[in-house]
């Protein structure tokens, strides 16, 4: 049976060294006058904000900087940024940084035009009105948030990472510049790189996968397999950085349109309860979830093995699928990704919330897209296997 598929991405995506320098020209096309630049204090200290502000000001656009975004942006971050946006009379938002900055920018953008609380938008297609204009400029090759219709905002009162998905969350412009990623340290390069790989893998095996997301997801896997180790080992390798930035953007396109699955469902509670970086949370969960899911996704895993560069000739589909799992294991080892139990989490505290984390994972909705359904008890077991 033929069914229609929808594939939504930003209207403008500019990639390559120097892409971020186009921000002023692209903002001017949107007929705006005052920009709120949303970022973190770490990014501000690198001098990137001054360059973005200068590009905007050349085009006659005033720039006001909000650099209070925290890792795993919170409802309070969004409210504080919104207050500055309104106080300065801004009419566009520029999200500069990793997923945290861009996600916070998205939260502010929808809050400008929608009056309900953010918790009311949790879930899929619950945002009633289009957002304020947003330009996204990533500084890491990971989340793909610059091209997705998804944002994650943490409700600190409930220890819940709220996932919101809506076409109104898509940036108007994405500027993907590898030069901005050259300062990313090796450990973060590894975490965000595996995050992008997880996006691509989950997009491909998702029950909601479609022909376009399949093609984009596998292309992202190929680029990551070829370039992540080099970008991690030599952070100044601009070509490897460029390919990783493109791969992360492609993976973002893929999962934004076919959804993530069990890995993300399980990773979000780890970030919410223990404040572990989102990419690292995915990285420590990925391998065990792949082992769990393999029996129900043999052909898809076989394709992933091939995309990873494994020699799959004269192998059965099941053997090829297992090669995908082995390839991921070797990559995680090469990148020195730690085990869950090596992240400084207190084991007793972990055990005390493991049931609630499993319930939160299921409640997020992402595990429903996994090729092999997981019960609460099975998710608890996977958490324990990751330790």
Give residue 160's pLDDT.
Answer: 84
CA 349 to chain centre: 27
Q: What is the CATH number of domain 12-181?
A: 3.40.50.1970
DSSP 140: S
**CATH fourth-level superfamily of 189-386:** Dehydroquinate synthase-like - alpha domain (1.20.1090.10)
Q: Is residue 39 classed as helix, strand or coil in its secondary structure?
A: coil
pLDDT of residue 312: 86
Ranges of residues in the chain with a pLDDT under 70 are 1
The set of residues, in sequence order, having a beta carbon less than 8 Å from that of 42 and lying 6+ positions away, is none
Domain ranges in the chain? 12-181, 189-386
pLDDT of residue 71: 87
pLDDT value for 1: 64
pLDDT for residue 313? 87
Long-range CB pairs of 235-241, under 8 A, 24+ apart, other chains included: 235/182, 235/183, 235/184, 235/185, 235/186, 235/189, 236/182, 238/17, 238/178, 238/179, 238/182, 241/141, 241/178, 241/181, 241/182
pLDDT tens digit string along 172-209?
A: 999 999 999 999 999 999 999 999 999 999 999 999 99
């Amino acid at each position: 049976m033929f069914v229609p598929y929808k594939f939504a991405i930003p209207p403008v995506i500019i990639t390559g060294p120097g892409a971020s320098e186009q921000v002023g020209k692209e903002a001017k096309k949107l007929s705006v006058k005052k920009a709120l630049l949303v970022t973190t204090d770490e990014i501000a200290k690198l001098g990137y904000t001054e360059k973005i502000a200068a590009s905007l000001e050349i085009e006659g656009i005033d720039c006001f900087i909000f650099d209070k975004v925290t890792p795993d942006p919170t409802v309070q971050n969004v409210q504080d940024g919104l207050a500055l946006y309104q106080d300065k009379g801004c009419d566009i938002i520029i999200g500069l940084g990793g997923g945290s900055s861009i996600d916070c920018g998205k939260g502010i953008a929808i809050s400008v035009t929608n009056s309900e609380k953010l918790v009311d938008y949790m879930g899929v297609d619950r945002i009633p009105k289009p957002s304020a204009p947003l330009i996204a400029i990533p500084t890491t090759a990971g989340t793909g948030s610059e091209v997705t219709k998804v944002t994650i905002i943490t409700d600190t009162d409930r220890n819940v990472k709220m996932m919101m998905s809506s076409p109104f969350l898509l940036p108007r412009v994405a500027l993907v510049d590898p030069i901005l990623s050259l300062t990313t340290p090796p450990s973060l390069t590894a975490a965000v790189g595996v995050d992008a790989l997880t996006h691509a893998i989950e997009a491909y095996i998702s029950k909601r996968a479609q022909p376009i997301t399949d093609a984009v997801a596998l292309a992202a896997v190929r680029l990551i397999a070829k370039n992540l180790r080099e970008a991690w080992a030599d952070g100044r390798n601009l070509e490897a950085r460029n390919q990783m930035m493109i791969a992360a953007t492609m993976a973002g396109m893929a999962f934004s349109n076919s959804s993530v699955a069990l890995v993300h469902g399980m990773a979000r509670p780890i970030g919410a309860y223990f404040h572990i970086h989102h990419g690292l949370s995915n990285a420590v969960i990925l391998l065990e979830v792949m082992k769990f899911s393999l029996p129900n996704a043999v052909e898809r895993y076989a394709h992933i093995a091939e995309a990873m560069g494994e020699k799959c000739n004269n192998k059965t589909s099941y053997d090829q699928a297992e090669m995908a799992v082995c390839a991921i294991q070797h990559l995680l080892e090469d990148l020195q990704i730690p085990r869950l139990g090596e992240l400084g989490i207190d084991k007793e505290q972990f055990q005390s919330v493991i049931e609630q984390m499993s319930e939160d994972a299921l409640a997020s909705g992402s595990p429903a897209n996994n090729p092999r359904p997981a019960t609460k008890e099975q998710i608890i077991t996977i958490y324990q296997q990751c330790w």
